[in-house]
Every structure is written in structure tokens, then in C-alpha cells.
Amino acid sequence: MNAESRERLPGLRLGLVSGACLVLLTLVGIVEAFSQREIVSGVLSMGEGLLFFTGLFIAYLAADRGLRRAGTGRALAAGLVCGLAAAALLALLVLLSKAVNLRQVLINASPAVFQMLVFQREELEVGLALLLAAGLLTGAAAAGLRLLPPVPRRAVTAGLVCVAGLGMLQDTVYPVLSSWGPVAGLADLVFEGLGLSPGGAVALFVLTAAGAAFWALQGAAVRGRIAGLSPGGRRGLRIGAFALLALVLAILPQALGLFLSEVLTIVGLYVLLGLGLNIVVGFAGLLDLGYVAFFAIGSYTVAILTSPELGFFSLSFWQALPFAVLFGVIAGVLLGIPVLKMRGDYLAIATLGFGEIIRILVLSDSLRPWLGGAQGIGKIPKAEIVGFEFGGPQEIYYLILAGCLLVGFISWRLRDSRLGRAWMAVREDEDVAQAMGINLVAAKLLAFATGAGFSALSGAIFATKIGSVYPHSFNVMISINILCVIIVGGIGSMPGVIVGAFALVGLPELLREFAEYRLLVYGAALVAMMLLRPEGLWPEATRRRELHEHEEQAGPTPDAPAAAAAGRP
């Protein structure tokens, strides 16, 4: 299709992409599997919601592109064309299923899923017409959402996300809410059957949208009033907020139950790891793909020093912990020395090799008497303090929380210190930093050592939590996942590490009920986050300014296509 045709049909290319995605989701079986659950009981199944929200998202992107290029009319046309094109591809799939038995090739191409696509209509023509109409309505809704002013758009988006999220996680959220006496009755009103009740969905949407709109309109004023308080007032407010946060964190595992407490412990371990890697990558700009090696060193140090299975030592967890952190720091320095002059991809490859070296050493038969080889090391005792054992998830949570608070405090103090500013100068430009008098060797080695120490601390807690360590627990994907955590959360942002850990680690754990489709949903969520928030979910202020500087300098230019057309020969 030439450029002139694309101009006449804005949004067609993204519509074809949207249709291809919807066809893929249908044929791999995820739509039919999700249809067993409901987002809104009796109104919208999860399979239908998956198709709707996927089509809505891509049509929104098409409308956004049309708005930036040529204004309101083009945005509406792009949304409608995108929605109709996506629905047309689904309609072609339904027609193909009537002519050819697709199930001979694709086992998930069942008659039930095609019947769902035509809204359970026996008359094929009526069902296809409804499908095309649904595509048009989805495109119109996406275009209308994009054309809304920023505050209403943010409110509607927040409401949709809240309804979709609570509907998907009903099996996790409802048991927790129903166990709380004061809100048990409210939970029964909001949830019904296998999803949200229609009234509960409307109420959640309205409340969430109203809250988002209020904060968008009044958030700056509230922050201004807080800033206008006297120093004593601000101090008192800060103390009160910290006290409330401490109370919530203290009662959280008892309120959430066993499963969600286990999810929190996993997220907490990744927060610990992410805060350490954030110093190396986020503060100092050193791309480290062998970070899991320090995690393994901390775990194996605690295992060797505490486990009676090997019989070398019989230290307690608290006696072994300083050694684990110390060995992690030493390993960080040893890694940093040979890679001091490396940058970018070369540094990433070298550190990746270091991680693999540690894993292969642990697996080697020559070190098996000391490290356990492929069988690992078991019988690692639990951490204890004053007779209290950190055994189950609801107990080990407090140990992980203490580690996160300690590491977070150190990172916060380092960020604004002289060393932290030196790291950030190295991140921006090593040559300029050296010309300004910064000792690159010391700065880089301290970054590697600090990050490695935090990783070893996390590994030590991991060892006592699991009670055993195995080499396969320390593969390269751990390093990749931690790097993804800080990228999605926002490179260099400490709150971003926490948000990124919940998004990338907590969300897949909560989606375990979706079995083999869990990682597909996880990947789709990652794509959406990167398209909507390329700077991260909670970015550092500097990073946000860098990525949005062009938007501040130049707004949409509706007349740009006309001007370009006038200038063509």
C-alpha cells in the first residue's frame, strides 16, 4: 500500500496489527481459557475483556498518532479504521472456520471460541455484523478517550484499570477482603459469582475515576499546602505518615494471609536485589549482567557456614551474615578490577561471563565436597532472634522488610552524597567526570562493591528462607529479571525499584491461576508499560525531563501534513 492510500485510511496499518494480535490470541487458546472467568459477572468474560482491551489499546495508539499528525478529525478516523480492520480480520477468521476445519491443525480453534466471537448468534450474518459493529464501537471509544482532556482521560483510564484488575484477581482479592470483618459485607456486594457484580463494577469505576480526577486537579494544591506548612508542621506530618506506613507494613502479612505473604517475600527479595543493581546501573551507569553471581555467593556462604549437611561449621544465620556480605563485597571488587576500562556492551558481556563462571564453579565435581555440586546444600537453619524463628512466609517477611529498609536507607543517603554525585557524573560521561577530578577507579569499584554487598545480603536471606540452595536457582535469567525491574520501574529511581518489582515479580505470581498463559499476559503487560511509560513507572526526575523534553518544546502540529503536502514537488 502506497503512502497516498495510507493517508486516505489512517490507522489501517495498526488495525491490521491489532487484528493479527486478536487472531493470535484466539488461535492459541487463551481467549477460550479466559472465558471461564468473568470480569463483570454476566456482562463481560475475561476472554471478551482480553479482546476488547487489546483492541482498545491499539486503537488508542492509532488515534494518538492521527491526532499528532493532523488533528481531531484524523484521530477519530484512525480509531474507527483501526477498530473496523481488527474486527474484519476476526470476521475473516470466523468465515474461514466455517469453510475449513482449522482444528485439524490448531487444536485450540474450537467451535466454542468462534461462537463467542459472533456473540453466540446462530445466524452467521447477524453475528458478523455485531462483530464489525463492536470493532467500530471499540475504535470510537479509543478515539474518544484520546480526544478527552488530560484530566478526564486519566480518570477514565484509572477506572478501567481498576475494574479490569480487580475482576481478573477476584480469586486473590475476595478471600482477603471477606476475612476482614468490617469490609466482609462490602466485599459480597462488590463481587458476585466469578467476577465483579455489575453494580460493584460501576461503583468501583466511579470511585476510582473520581479519585484520579480529584488528585489530578487538586494534587498540586495539596502539595502546595503541605509545602506551606511550618517546619514543625511538616515534621509532624512526616512523622505521622511514617508511623502510619510502619503500622501498615507491620500488620500486612497477617491481613493478607499465607499466599499473598509469600508473594510479598518474593517481591521483597527482588527489591533488595534491585536496589543493589540500581546503584551499579542506575547511579553509576555500569551495565552488569553477572549480578546473580553475588546473589549466589551470599547464599552459598550462609549455606556453608550454617548447614550441618556439610559439617564444616555450625554458625547461626546472624553469625554467618557478615561473612556473606563481606565475601560479596570482595567479589564485587574482584569483578570490578579487570573491567575498569570497559564500557557499554563490552562491560555487559564481561560481567555476564563472571556470572556464568560462578555458576559453573558451583556445579563442578571438583568442588562438590565443599559446595554440594548439582545436589546443592540443604538443612540450612532458619534465622532466629530472641526465640522468634523466621520460618514461614508471614515471619520471614519481617526479616526481608528489615533488609529492604536498611538497604533503602543506605541507598538514599548515598544518592545525594559526594560519592553518589560522583557516580552520576560517571554515568553521564566518564571522560568529563575524570576531567573534573573524579577518581574513576575508586568510584567504579565502590559501585561494584556496594551493589555486590546488597546482592549478597539478599542471597543470604534467600538461603535461610528456602532452607537449601541449588545451582539452578542462580542462572542468568535472574540478572535479566533484576535489570528489567529497574528499567520498568525507572532507572536510577529508588521508588521505581519497588514499583518495578511489584509489576514484574508480584504480578506474574498473582497470575499463576492462568497456568501456561501467565507469561503471555506478563509479556503483554510489559509491552503496554513500555509503550505508555518508556521512562519507567516511577522515573527519576532527571530521566523524566530527558525523555519528555521534546514534548515540552513542541506540541502537536495539526497542519504539518498539509504543509508537507504543499512542499512536495
User: For the residues of 266-323, what is the DSSP string, one character each?
Assistant: HHHHHHHHHHHHIIIIIIT----S-THHHHHHHHHHHHHHH-TTT-S----HHHHHHH
Per-residue pLDDT tens digits for 300-323: 999 999 998 877 888 999 999 999
Say what the pLDDT of residue 22 is: 93
pLDDT tens for residues 415-440?
Answer: 889 999 999 999 988 889 999 999 99
Q: Write the burial class of residue 185 (CB in 10 Å: 0-12 exposed, 13-18 middle, 19+ buried).
A: exposed
Spacing of C-alpha 173 from chain mean position: 19
Cell of 59: 486503537
Which of the residues in the chain have pLDDT under 50?
1-6, 552, 554-569
Q: Which residue has the cell 540450612?
A: 380
pLDDT digits (tens, 9 = 90+) for 24-81: 989 988 888 888 888 998 889 988 998 999 999 999 999 999 998 878 889 999 999 9
* Contact by Cβ (8 Å): 139, 83: yes
What pLDDT does residue 7 have?
Answer: 53
Distance of CA 330 to the CA centre of its chain: 31
pLDDT (0 to 100) of residue 564: 36
| pTM, to two decimals | 0.85
Q: Is-contact 474 300, C-beta < 8 A?
A: no
Angle at 547 between CA 145 and CA 6, to 5 degrees: 50
Quick one: pLDDT at residue 514? 67
- Return the pLDDT at 515: 60
Q: Are strands 44-45 and 38-40 parallel, antiparallel or unpaired?
A: antiparallel
C-alpha 374/C-alpha 377 separation (Å) is 9
pLDDT at residue 4, rounded to an integer: 46
pLDDT of the residue at 5: 47
Q: 137-148 in b/e burial notation, b at 16+ Cβ within 10 A?
A: ebbbbbbbbbee
